[in-house]
Amino acid sequence: MAWSIGRRVIHLVLVILIVTFATMMLVDRVPGGLAHAILGDTATQEQIDTLNHKLKLDKSYAARYTGWLGDVATGDFGTSPRTNRPVLDTIRARLPVTIELVVLTELLAFMLAIPIGMYTAHREGKRLDRLWSLISSALIAVPSFVLALVLVYFFAVRWHVFPVNRFRPISKGLFDNLRSVALPVVTLAVAEVAVYSRVLRADAVTTMRQDYMLAARSRGLSPARLMFRHALRPSSLSLVTLGALSVGRLIGGTVVVETIFGLPGLGSLMIDSVLNSDLVVVQGIVLFVALVYVGLNLILDVTYGSLDPRVRSATA
Amino acid sequence: MALSNDLLLDEPPRANDIGTAVSNLAAPDRRRVKRHAPVLVWVAAAWLVLLVLCAIFADFLPIKGYARPAGPLRQAPGWHSVSLLGTDAIGRSQLSRVIYGARQSLTIAVGAVSIGLALGGLLGLLGGYFRGRVDALIALFTDSVLAVPPLLMIVAVTAFLERTMLTITMALALLAVPTYVRVARAHTLTLARREFVEAARALGASRRRIIFKELLPNVALPLISYVFLITASVIVAEGTLSFLGLGLPPPRPTWGAMIKDGRNYLSKSPAIIAVPAAALTVTVMALNIVGDHARLRYEFGRAR
Mean pLDDT of each 10-residue bin along chain A, 316 residues long: 77 87 77 69 75 71 81 81 84 91 94 92 87 88 90 85 73 78 91 91 85 83 81 82 83 88 89 84 88 84 67 49
Interface A–B counts its CB contacts (< 8 A) at 171
Averaged pLDDT score across all residues of chain B: 80
> Chain A: nearest CA to B223, how far in angstroms?
21
> Chain B: nearest CA to A281, how far in angstroms?
11
The pLDDT confidence band at residue B303, using thresholds 50, 70 and 90, is low
pLDDT of residue A102: 93
Which residue among B9, B152, B236 places its CB closest to the CB of A270?
A: B152
Contact A145 B147 (CB under 8 A): no
pLDDT of residue B20: 35
CA distance A47 to A32: 14
Q: Is the pLDDT assigned to residue B179 strictly greater than 90?
A: no
Cα angle for residues B213, B217, B223 (degrees, 5° grid):
140
DSSP 8-state code for residue B74: T
Residue A63 CB neighbour total at 10 angstroms: 11
Say whether residue B259 is in contact with chain A using an 8 A CB cutoff: yes
Domain annotation for chain B: domains and CATH numbers: 104-254+281-298 (1.10.3720.10)
Q: Can you point out the beta strands (E) in A181-220?
A: none
Q: Is the pLDDT assigned to residue B139 strictly greater than 60?
A: yes
Contact by Cβ (8 Å): B284, B236: yes
Contact by Cβ (8 Å): B240, A256: yes
Which of B301 and B290 is assigned the larger pLDDT? B290
CA distance A290 to B148: 5
- Integer-rounded Cα Rg, in Å, for chain B is 22
Say whether residue A196 is in contact with chain B using an 8 A CB cutoff: no
| Mean of pLDDT values over B54-59 | 84
For A10, nearest residue in chain B (alpha carbons) = B140
> Chain A: nearest CA to B133, how far in angstroms?
12
> What is the maximum span of chain A, computed from C-alpha positions, in angstroms?
84
pLDDT of residue A22: 84
Contact A141 B288 (CB under 8 A): yes
Which residue among A142, A202, A252 places its CB closest to the CB of B149?
A: A252
CA distance B64 to B92: 8
Nearest 5°: phi and psi at B93? -65, 120
CA distance B63 to B79: 14
Say what the pTM is.
Answer: 0.84
Range 81-140 of A in CB contact (< 8 A) with B: 124-125, 130, 133-134, 137-138, 140
In chain B, residues with a C-beta closer than 8 Å to the C-beta of A149 are: 259, 263, 266, 273, 277
Please report, for residues A126, B225, B296, the alpha-carbon distance to residue B39 in angstroms, rounded to integers and kept in the order given.
21, 20, 16
Query: Does the interface predicted TM-score (ipTM) exceed 0.85?
Result: no
